[in-house]
């Protein structure tokens, strides 16, 4: 699996074959007390390897390239653009346990805007890597701010960490919220307050 460099991680060129990954998962099956040779588990190492490729496909994508194409024909729109309830499916780097939640993203354009789907795709790329929620929140915000040359960016993530709900302290109802603000969102509390109202209030029909 080839890694793609971003602003927060070094590009470490480690090449591991699919076969080597399958053997590693076969070893884990034996380690937990299973028989990797029994019928129900014969294809499990290959299936897990393929699943992990999907879970961590963000290492093979450059999120800044997603934002290359922008649009200027927006009649001078210069207020915030807010996208709510973007699903987040990631894995924590400490236990490789799932992180499941939602992200809310906003930016204030200068002259150009980006396609709405691209905001969700940036969230997706960074989510499909081993993460801490704090770093994930900052990576999304910094990438949007730099790539879009925005006046301001705000990112909020609200998620459940299965390393807390399924093991250790086992607090099933615990959720974690992180916020990160840049530009006008950081400098002007009125923008923060409007953003927070947008993401917490359901618009009436």
Q: What is the pLDDT of residue 96?
A: 96
DSSP 81-93: EEEEEEEEEEEET
40-49, 137-146, 160-169: which range is least confident on average? 160-169
What's the CA gap between 46 and 26, in Å, rounded?
Answer: 9
Residue 133 among the catalytic residues? yes
| Neighbouring-strand partners of residue 87 | 102
Residue 161 among the catalytic residues? yes
Residue 92 among the catalytic residues? yes
Q: What is the pLDDT of residue 173?
A: 87
Catalytic residue among 20, 43, 93, 111: 93
- Read off the pTM: 0.90
pLDDT mean over 13-35: 95
Say if residue 205's pLDDT is above 50: no
Say if residue 7's pLDDT is above 50: no
Helix residue spans in 56-104 (DSSP H): 63-66
pLDDT tens digit sequence for 171-201: 888 999 999 999 999 999 999 999 999 999 8
Sign of CA dihedral 143, 147, 152, 157: negative
Say if residue 17's pLDDT is above 60: yes
Catalytic residue among 20, 43, 89, 94: 94
pLDDT category of residue 9 using cuts at 50, 70 and 90:
low
- Both structure tokens of 85: 């309830």
Catalytic residue among 83, 95, 146, 162: 95
Residue 163 among the catalytic residues? yes
Say if residue 1's pLDDT is above 70: no
What's the CA gap between 108 and 153, in Å, rounded?
Answer: 7
- Both structure tokens of 101: 């939640």
Catalytic residue among 131, 133, 184, 192: 133
List, in order of start, the domains of the chain with CATH numbers: 1-55 (1.10.286.10), 70-200 (3.30.1130.10)
Q: What is the pLDDT of residue 74?
A: 83
């Amino acid at each position: 699996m080839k890694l793609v460099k971003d602003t927060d991680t070094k590009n470490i060129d480690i090449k591991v074959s699919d076969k080597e990954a399958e053997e590693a998962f076969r070893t884990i099956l034996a380690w937990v007390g299973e028989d990797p040779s029994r019928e129900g588990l014969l294809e499990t190492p290959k299936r897990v390897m393929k699943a992990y490729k999907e879970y961590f496909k963000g290492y093979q994508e450059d999120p800044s390239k997603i934002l290359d194409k922008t649009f200027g024909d927006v009649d001078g729109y210069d207020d915030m653009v807010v996208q709510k309830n973007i699903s987040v499916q990631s894995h924590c780097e400490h236990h490789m346990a799932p992180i499941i939640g939602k992200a809310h993203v906003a930016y204030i354009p200068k002259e150009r805007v980006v396609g709405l789907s691209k905001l969700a795709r940036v969230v997706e790329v960074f989510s499909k890597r081993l993460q801490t929620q704090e770093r994930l929140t900052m990576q999304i915000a910094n990438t949007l701010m730099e790539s879009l040359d925005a006046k301001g960016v705000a990112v909020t993530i609200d998620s459940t960490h299965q390393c807390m709900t399924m093991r250790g302290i086992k607090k099933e109802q615990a959720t974690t919220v992180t916020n990160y603000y840049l530009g006008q969102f950081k400098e002007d509390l009125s923008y923060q307050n409007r953003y927070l109202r947008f993401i917490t209030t359901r618009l009436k029909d």
